[in-house]
Homo-oligomer: A and B are copies of this chain.
Amino acid sequence: MSITVVGTIGLDTIETPFGKAENILGGSAAYFALAAAAYQPVNLIAVVGNDLPAHRLDPLRARGIDLAGVEVGDGPNFRWGGAYHLDFNTRDTLFTELGVLATFDPKVPSAYRDTDVLFLANLQPTVQQGVVAQLPQARLRALDTMNFWITSAREDLTRVLGMVDIVFMAEDELRQFAGLSNLRQAAQAVLALGPQVIVIKLGSYGALLIDKAGQYFAAPAFPLDDVRDPTGAGDSFAGGFLGYLAAVLAGGRAPEQADYRRALLHGNLMGAFACEAFGIDRFTTLTPEAVAMRYQQLVAYTHIEAGA
């Protein structure tokens, strides 16, 4: 009855047209966990540097996230710096310092063995494979990836794609992986490798869901009047999506197509929450009421009354 995520805890330096922040808490596992924790208990597996004071993880503890899977490595923490342009659709990576992430070999604590949902955030595909093997009883396994692995570790990525149920890809990554410009055709190429569901992230345009049963579902992004910092939006999206599905499983039934559709809306909601403040800040004050209200708004934004 829980969600386990393996990914990064980072120290991010972010520049936007509206401000700059240095060494703030970030990383794929942090964003995912904070978003998913709005739905179900979350276990977090990651490595941090010996230069990261323990209190820096307090925002995760405050949301009830289990940090027994966080090991302290012998070296500096993973650091990333990025700068966004005015339209927030493109960003430049300023630096990437892997630190202890370079030798990360995740161990799944035995207490996490009863997890329902496993999320493999963007990591080296062989590392993702190792974690799947340690959690054979997970009922839903999902992964995210990035263009770097598509070009540098394509065989390993293809293998781990065959080990999961749900794949998250940004549209450009999907096109690149499949070598096809048409998203529906490219999605079929990924589904043929094993996954039941592919979720295509369209950035500020929302997301698509395509499954092996032939379902096609489109959900728009939740529109924001002010985007402050898109860092972590993709991982927060995955957190909302899988968090919602974990809650369905915790309710005692297997998710159906209608649940996957609602999950896609929750993914869009969490992606938007991530963008509303610098770093993880918006999640530290997120309430169930705010989530429920935005969900109803997003449903209304696409509602069509019956009739032609």
Write the residues of chain A forming the contact surface with B, with a CB cutoff of 8 angstroms. Answer: 86-88, 175, 181-185, 202, 205-206, 208, 216-220, 223-227, 258, 261-262, 265, 292, 295-296, 299, 301-305, 307-308
Contact = CB atoms under 8 A, between A and B. Distances in A.
B225 A184 contact: yes
A302 B299 CA distance: 9
A184 to B, nearest CB: 6
B182 A218 contact: no
Contacts of A202: 205
Given A258-B304, A265-B304, 17 more contacts: A87-B181, A88-B181, A182-B225, A183-B223, A202-B205, A205-B205, A206-B218, A216-B223, A217-B301, A218-B223, A258-B305, A261-B303, A262-B304, A262-B305, A262-B307, A295-B308, A299-B304
A28 to B, nearest CB: 25
A307 B307 CA distance: 22
Given A220-B218, A262-B307, A308-B262, A182 B226 contact: yes
A191 to B, nearest CB: 15
